[in-house]
Structure 1
Amino acid sequence: MQWLYLYFPQLQLDRLQALTPSLVQQPTVLFQPQERLQPILQKNQEAVQAGVQAGMSLAKAWLLTERLYPLAWREYEQVRLLRQLAAHLYQGFSDIFLDSPDGLWLNLQPLQRIYPTELISQQVLQELLAPFEVQVCQAKHSAPMAARLLARNRAESLESLPVSCLPCDEQIKDKLIRFGVTTVAALREIPRAELGKKLGLEVVVLLSQLEGQQSLRLAPYQPPQSFYQRVVLPAEAAQWQGLQFSLKRLLSELERFLIGRGKAATQLSMRLYFRELPIKTLLISAPHGCVQAREFMALCQLKMEHEKLPAPVIELSLQAQGWKSHEASHADLWQKQKLATVPLNQLLNQLQLRMGEERVQGLQVQPQWLPEYSWRPHIAGQPLLAMNALAECQRLAQRPAWLCLHPQRVHIVEWQLGLGPERIRMSWWQTGSEGVRDYYQAQHVSGRVGWLFYCYQQRSWWLHGWFS
């Protein structure tokens, strides 16, 4: 077995800086708010240059630089980001195991046929990690525990590692140092039986795991079926414009999520978090499905035209709901001129969001001979008749798509009759009276083509619809 361990030492801070590039220009740190001294857990390069170190108290860090920008480290956010990374890496690596809150194992054994060389697997890995802009330390070994230890200590071999790096109790490390055992190489030379008597079973099990003789219980990763992201805004946003930058980043990640699964989202739930007011939830509907970030952004802008922020926003979350299959469109290689047209689904989504679904409708043909019953409205963009019903409507499709609300009497001298007649006999249970109509396609003196019928009872001509 070949295991690749990925260690993300500053995952939460790296993602904050990717979403808010202005944080890179000032000393930014993440601290543990639940401990008394509030120790520093993650720091950027500006903070390092100011003298800030990991484990230092927040109060001491304030003394080093007045420009310090502290943010609270959140465990749930760290785990969520780790799972998000795993979900993206799942496109290229099938066996992924979580080591919360900042590590991942990749089992390379099943992928040897796909990635026959280490160079190929590394190229795929770097391409998948590039959009996230995170620091990563990696190491490969036949034992998962050994790969973990090497990556977290940025070492190339186990033998030279000091025993202080071992993931065991501090008292055991102190005993080893007092015995004169300072490296892992020296520790492995001690017989296991003697080691177990002096230091206990924990050290023996640890060495067996480092050598791959004893398996390590790992937590397999299962890809999520939904998309949820939550970010802390770098500054309070009192207007919609202040949310756009962070929202664009979230929508870009949603686009990658959807493309990797061949899906389209039909609804977004955007939550705005305030300092004192309750959470405000905005639902953005896209009944015909969206994939691209710019399409989602256009819908969000339409939604926010009618919304007003009651208070400055401090956090923003995005959740995608409703899934439908999506096939990527392909450009024509031989098409010389690119048409600047809006896709139908995108146009329908914008119209329905602005006007309401009930006001954006299409027409659907029905297998009924009487014109008043041969068409019915349906929600725009929804599937039409089943294939077995299309044959019954082939002749009806030659009728006009636009019927008059009520037939209008016309003067036949203004019309030139064309195709026809099509005789339709009406029954009393359909229209309230029996009768016969002869329908013709006719051209008006204005050039428009209409659908006329002659009513024998009233001995007059009537306009029933227009051809497009």
Structure 2
Amino acid sequence: MLWACILLPQLALDSVLRRLPDPQRPLALVTGPAHLRSLYAVNASAAEAGLSPGMRLSAAHALLADVATVEHDALAEARWHRFLAAWAYRHSSLVSAQWPGCVVLEARASFQLLGPWPRFEARLREELTALGFAHRIALAPTPRAARVLAGLRDGMAVTSAPAMREILAKVPVRRAALPDGAGERLHRMGVRDLRALRALPRDSLRRRFGLELLSHVDRLYGEADDPLDCYAPPDHFDSRVELGYEVEHHPPLLFPLRRLIGDLCTYLSIRDGGVQRFVLRLEHEGRVQEGAHTDVEVGLLAAEREPARLFELTRNRLERVSIPKPVVAMRLLARELPPFVPASRDLFDARAQQTLPWPQLRERLRARLGDEAVYRVAPAGDPRPERAWRRDDGRPAIEPVLPPRPAWLLPHPVPLRGHGLRIVSGPERLESGWWDGEDARRDYYVLETAQGQRAWVFAPVGEREGWMLHGWFA
């Protein structure tokens, strides 16, 4: 096996920056009690101004008065860690997020599908950059070795066990991810690298540091099995974005909406599925349980997972909803995730950039005009022509077998007068409607006029005069 480790050096910070329209503005995550606030992480522009993690918040304001601050949310950081594990699951069936700040995945099995490691690595970096997460990537025969190498140098790739052992021997103990701070303690004792550590008696190391250290080193070198807590994707999608400010109009909501839709489509590609119904929840000040939210329901006629299409449909529905109170957060919930079947396309599509497939046009019209404004027409079980069709709502119905009907049916029958009328076919007797007060007893004929037109007419039962025109055949 070959394991790739994706190290996320600023996961908590990136999870905040990716939802901001201007991520270059100085920003710091703060933590600690109210009387002793300190900086947890800072972005590049804040670091250039002299701010650094661990600094007191008062000192940070003294250096940079206009720095934006956001409370560090450990639960949100863990949630984004799981999201990136879900993203990695689309590239490998063996993914683990058991170590904080990194994701490891088995890569060798994916080479046949995604190409050799340089191409695979480039794809991982491209997608992580699009998602908005800084990263370091390394490849090694064991997951722990990949984790250590990613911390040493970005882009390292070791594919053989002898080469891995040679590189690991020179790794400083303080950077070998040893458990319980053992690396710092060993460094103070004069043990500088893993070669010196492995030269020490194992019994002495076990008595002083415990079995966990020896187990870690054995698994690091691949001398013992390393069972990982493998990731399994959930069966629903639930993501929330806090805006950090109050929004009273639709345009400022579009940027976080695009991020939420992109995350949803990433999740759908992981499951190789689509979404047919989801809810965009606009949260206002107050408790959600007390109704301080506005739900925008998005329903599609078929499963979809194209980001641009889902964003366009959701934006159209969002713009039709009035915002009663300022919005402070957005949440996207999707529980109906049916299988997704990609639409078939011709090999030589003519001017595809100027055409819009019917499913896309249908969903766009429903989003703009409303669900009831766009529908299909299907035959009904009533033989009366004016009641012989219905709105197709997807429910099965009995479709009667009838003789040919005209393509142009008049809204109301009108008298047909003229000379040279010739009966082509008929009569077709219709007797129906006695149960709803609109009893109809008619004999229908197909007539040909002197000009060669074919008309669909009826007369009272048993008569051949007083024709009433009901439609024209093409």
| TM-score, with length taken from structure 2 | 0.80
- Report the equivalent of 2:300: 287
* Partner in structure 1 of residue 162 of structure 2: none
Report what 1:315 is aligned to: 329
CA 1:463/1:353 → structure 2, altered by over 3 Å: closer, same or farther? farther
One-letter amino acid matched to 1:167:
L
2:443 to 407, 422, 437: 437
Counterpart mapping for 1:80-99 below 5 A: 80-99=79-98
- Choose which of 392, 398, 417 in structure 2 pairs with 1:379: 392
CA offsets 1:39-66 (integer angstroms, 9 cap, x no match): 4333221122122223333333323322
Q: Which residue of 1 aligns with 2:116?
A: 117
SS in 2 for 1:160: coil
Is the Cα contact below 8 Å between 2:3 and 2:105 reproduced in 1? yes
8 Å contact kept, 2:446–2:454: no
After TM superposition, give the deviation of residue 189 of structure 1 in Å.
Answer: 0.7
| CA distance in 1 between partners of 2:433 and 2:136 (Å) | 83
Question: Within 1, Cα distance between the matches of 2:450 and 2:346?
Answer: 41
Structural mapping, 1:371-410, within 5 Å: 371-372=384-385, 375-379=388-392, 382=394, 393=401, 396=403, 398-400=404-406, 408-410=413-415
Match of 1:167 in 2: 178
SS of the equivalent of 2:252 reads: helix
Q: 2:163 corresponds to which residue?
A: none
Change in CA separation of 1:336 and 1:110 when aligned onto 2, cut-off 3 Å = closer
Q: 1:268 aligns with which of 249, 254, 278?
A: 278
Q: What is the deviation of 1:7?
A: 0.8
Identity of aligned residues (%): 25
2:468 is aligned with 1:462: yes
Residue 206 (structure 1) aligns with = 216
- How far apart, in 2, do the equivalents of 1:176 and 1:103 lie? 24
Q: Which moved more, 1:15-24 or 1:359-368?
A: 359-368
Question: In the alignment, is the contact (CA less than 8 A) between 1:40 and 1:54 conserved in 2?
Answer: yes
Instruction: Give, in whole Å, the separation in 2 of the partners of 1:15 and 1:426.
Output: 69
- CA pair 415-175 structure 1, distance change in 2 beyond 3 A: farther
Q: Is the 8 A contact 1:442 1:452 kept in 2?
A: no
Query: Gaps (5+ residues) in structure 1?
Result: none
Residue type of the partner of 1:211?
Answer: Y
Contact 2:279 2:295 survives alignment (8 Å): yes
Structure 2 vs 1, CA of residues 95 and 194 (structure 1 numbering), >3 Å: closer, same or farther? same
Change (3 A) 1:375 1:75: farther
Paired residues of 2:280 and 2:295 also in contact (CA < 8 A): yes
Could you say which residue in structure 2 is the equivalent of 1:215?
225
Give the 5 Å matches for 1:324-403: 324-329=338-343, 332=346, 334=348, 336-337=350-351, 340=354, 342-352=356-366, 357-358=371-372, 360-366=374-380, 370-372=383-385, 375-379=388-392, 382=394, 393=401, 396=403, 398-400=404-406
- Bigger CA drift: 49-58 or 181-190? 49-58
C-alpha separation in 2, matches of 1:31 and 1:81: 18
Q: Describe the SS at the equivalent of 1:345.
A: helix
Whole-Å Cα distance in 1 between the matches of residues 18 and 449 of structure 2? 64
Assess, with a 3 A threshold, how the Cα gap between structure 1 residues 379 and 75 changes in structure 2: closer, same or farther: farther
Conserved in 1, the CA contact under 8 Å of 2:178 and 2:213? Answer: no
Question: Partners in 2 of 1:362 and 1:466 — Cα distance?
Answer: 22
Local SS of the residue matching 1:125: helix
Deviation at 1:193? 1.7
- Matched residue type, 1:453: F
2:427 maps to 1:451: no
Could you report, residue by residue, the CA deviation over 1:201-245 in whole angstroms, capped at 9, with x for unpaired residues?
332223222222333342211123323322232643221111112
Question: Deviation string for 1:302-338 (max 9, x for gaps)?
Answer: 4344533333322212223434444434655645555
Shift of 1:8: 0.6
One-letter amino acid of the structure 2 residue matched with residue 363 of structure 1: V
Partners of 1:441 and 1:261 lie apart in 2 by: 60
Secondary structure of 1:254's partner?
helix
Question: Partner amino acid for 2:376?
Answer: G
Shift of the 444–136 alpha-carbon distance from structure 1 to 2, 3 Å rule, reads farther
Alignment counterpart, residue 199 of structure 2, candidates 176, 180, 189: 189
Give the conservation status (yes or no) of the 8 Å contact 2:15–2:77.
Answer: no
Shift of 1:22: 0.9
Aligned to 2:2: 2
Please say if residues 30 and 70 of structure 1, whose CA atoms lie closer than 8 Å, have aligned partners that are also in contact.
yes
Root mean square deviation, CA, Å: 3.8
Query: Does the Cα contact within 8 Å between 1:277 and 1:311 map onto a contact in 2?
Result: no
Query: Quick check: 1:6–1:105 contact (8 Å CA) kept in 2?
Result: yes
Q: CA deviation at 1:153?
A: 4.4
Q: Which residue of 2 aligns with 1:424?
A: 429
- The answer as to 2:244 corresponding to 1:244 is no
Report the AA paired with residue 225 of structure 2: S
**1:149-206 alpha-carbon deviations (Å, 9 max, x no partner):** 3323448633333333343334x45653453222222111102122223433332223
**Contact preservation (8 Å) 1:357, 1:379:** no
**Residue identity in the other structure for 1:460:** G
User: Residues 463 and 297 (structure 1 numbering): CA distance in 2 closer, same or farther, change over 3 Å?
Assistant: farther
Distance 1:239 1:414 in 2: 67
| Residues 257-282 of structure 1: per-residue CA shift (max 9 Å, x gap) | 44565544332311223344753132
AA aligned to 1:307 is V
Structure 2 unaligned regions, length at least 5:
157-166
TM-score relative to the length of structure 1: 0.81
